[in-house]
Structure 1
């Protein structure tokens, strides 16, 4: 019954977030307190002593150094005129503002750190120019929402970095349970797995924008990019592509790339005098606020997932996943459906910190290809953010639009983007090699023997946190 009690806390957390409007980390701490009370009443309170060691191990991760750096990059981009310059240069290159807006989203979204930050940058810089070019409010809202989600799947986005860390832990647990000698995936593996589906999504979306042709072509007066603007845009685009390509290929670490990006943006702001002291102070304040919220969420999620492991919810979910009929593809599709539904109430960071550590180990026992599962997970999150009317990107883009946008016309404008995204998800689900196009080694083979529920339970018991040793006070 304890495992079912932990499972019941998941919808309780979602409902509490929606009804109370409290920050996610406060709701998760409250849910962890309820779970801890149940654990103490059941006589397993000593296992809660493993929490300090988990916290220390969590904060020792070098990968988390990239988190505030990527957040700072997004804050600086939002306060520098680079997005405006790139958009004007894109209009002059493509002669169509909608294509320029999509290209700008693909270029800047991975550096913004989150979907919300991407929506803020594109709404501030692109939305007024799209309005000036005659693009209807519904069309530009749909375009801003779609372009902002590209930062979820294009490396080295902050979402992919954190997903890589979470999936590495889940893959390690699954390999130990199944007794496999898998090569544990890392962040670079997930970058490469997401690259081909992300490129296919971008190509389909660009085709949709060009085919629909609802954004009028710009003339010389509308694409007022000067010669200096073109030079700045070319240098900026080249730097970003080198940065993104270096991280995706493994030439740079994510922390190094984020640091280089921050230094370059600070230097550009200083040389052009666009970054005033007040703007820099505002960017640093925003960086501290967002980074603090993310670290608070990570600590709260770690506490919550520990209580769920003590309750046995992970073993319960593994048993339920193992009981699903069919092969790994059916199991993956079923879990992706749960992830997609969760993304309608939770954002990407909450899913990565809460859902992935509990749900994915059991799935990876069935499906050995962790990179494939990771790419499908991130594609599902991207699609969920575009589901009207509650998708995260949709709500953010509608809130940033000055004119009212009705839900039904917006759903019609989003439909082609969402259909193309779902086609990419189904293609990657049916043909796993799509996610291994840029791999340096062949994908792992599926496990030959499925473990019984009793064997899985014994493996999980062996991995359960040990209570701290009692102190000898004599």
Structure 2
């Protein structure tokens, strides 16, 4: 039972706000030495070396670098301006533009925090200016910002691929269908709700000073085509087998720098700042990975994994009982801890049980990624809610954000259930 006690002690410490990496590493050290002595950690350096030599994990800093460079090129701002002109005369046009730009940003950056903050700073003031409902505006921004969890190239899909031993390219291909369906459901909801209640998102009067319709379409295409081309090159090289995810991530990083030159935003300071920020984010991810590695070693050596596996294998309903319990547990844990910790700590515990029950691991990984995306939105602790609150005007209350995300949470759960019940619809049967 030492491993189970260790698990709950780590969760309690996280709830009190202790740093994640040091919590997992420290708890593992204390309980591991108490149970097995110092010899337990004799192989820890070899574990660390194996991660340092892992070519799949090399894609993480490269995709992060690509996202940060694109964030600093005013990509989102130019996209939103162009799309806003294009769809502004339609009810809910700015909200639809936010979803479309958010999906493109998600495919470009894969970093949820960056997308939500960027969209909050750019899109929210514009929607408030044109008297959009605060709740609808906030919900749209939070939902579009979290698309980076499921739309490739997603950081969480790369991590899940490594943890579950699945080719990352297979995960990227499997995630495209659910991602497109989710975007379509978001847009459909906005169209329907603004048709039923026009006051929530009034149409913007046509402004002749913005140019003719053809000029607006041309400006929108100029803003959309370069980043879209980068995304298609990165994903296309993976899906066609020309490049591995790691190689395509390097291509994405170079492509992002080229885009910064195209948008005339390149400077050596921008490049240095992007590299520095990439190092900070990557160091955080790998510090958590080291702590999680120590934790999983101690958890296994103390027999915690056998107890969990035995309990989960004997659940009523077998496969479906396990899937439902796993999804509920991940959703609840997602309220309190980040997706990186869940991927490195919880998923390795669930993976052997899923394999023993004969579950399609690609399908299982997509379910986890969609579930983690939902946890980013769920009140009261969803990370996207805090990201938006941090950049929103004072007139936007926390309750406005909470109320706004509820319809989008229900949409995400509906899509999650559809993946669960109809995997064949997404090519994952």
Give the TM-score of the pair, scaled to structure 1. 0.82
2:144 pairs, out of 147, 164, 173, with 147
Match of 1:115 in 2: 112
Alignment of 1:227-376 (within 5 A): 227=218, 230-248=221-239, 250-376=241-367
Moved more, 277-286 or 60-69: 277-286
Q: CA deviation digits over 1:231-265, x for unaligned, max 9? A: 24323323323433443554442222222222122
1:51 pairs, out of 36, 44, 48, with 44
C-alpha contact (below 8 Å) 1:115/1:148 kept by paired residues? yes
CA RMSD of aligned residues (A): 2.2
Cα gap change, 1:186 to 1:236, in 2 (>3 Å) = closer
Give the TM-score of the pair, scaled to structure 2. 0.90
Q: CA deviation digits over 1:84-113, x for unaligned, max 9? A: 111122223333111110011111113323
2:30 pairs, out of 31, 34, 38, with 34
C-alpha contact (below 8 Å) 2:80/2:97 kept by paired residues? yes
Taking the aligned partners of 1:126 and 1:256, their CA distance within structure 2 comes to 33
SS at match of 1:149: helix
Match of 1:89 in 2: 82
2:419 pairs, out of 410, 413, 428, with 428
C-alpha contact (below 8 Å) 2:110/2:152 kept by paired residues? no
Cα gap change, 1:12 to 1:270, in 2 (>3 Å) = same
Moved more, 418-427 or 214-223: 214-223
Moved more, 221-230 or 396-405: 221-230
Match of 1:217 in 2: 203
Alignment gaps of 5+ in structure 1: 169-184, 438-442, 444-474
Taking the aligned partners of 1:303 and 1:378, their CA distance within structure 2 comes to 24
Cα gap change, 1:433 to 1:223, in 2 (>3 Å) = farther
* Residue 25 in structure 1 maps to residue 6 in structure 2: no
1:63 pairs, out of 48, 56, 67, with 56
Alignment of 1:138-217 (within 5 A): 138-168=135-165, 185-213=166-194, 214-217=200-203
Taking the aligned partners of 1:263 and 1:132, their CA distance within structure 2 comes to 37
Aligned residues: 415
Alignment gaps of 5+ in structure 2: 195-199
User: Cα offset for 1:228?
Assistant: 5.3
Q: CA deviation digits over 1:119-169, x for unaligned, max 9? A: 12222332333333332433222111101111101112111111111111x
Cα gap change, 1:86 to 1:250, in 2 (>3 Å) = farther
Taking the aligned partners of 1:434 and 1:210, their CA distance within structure 2 comes to 24
Alignment of 1:353-432 (within 5 A): 353-432=344-423
SS at match of 2:327: helix
Q: CA deviation digits over 1:373-419, x for unaligned, max 9? A: 11111111111111112111122122221224434443332222111
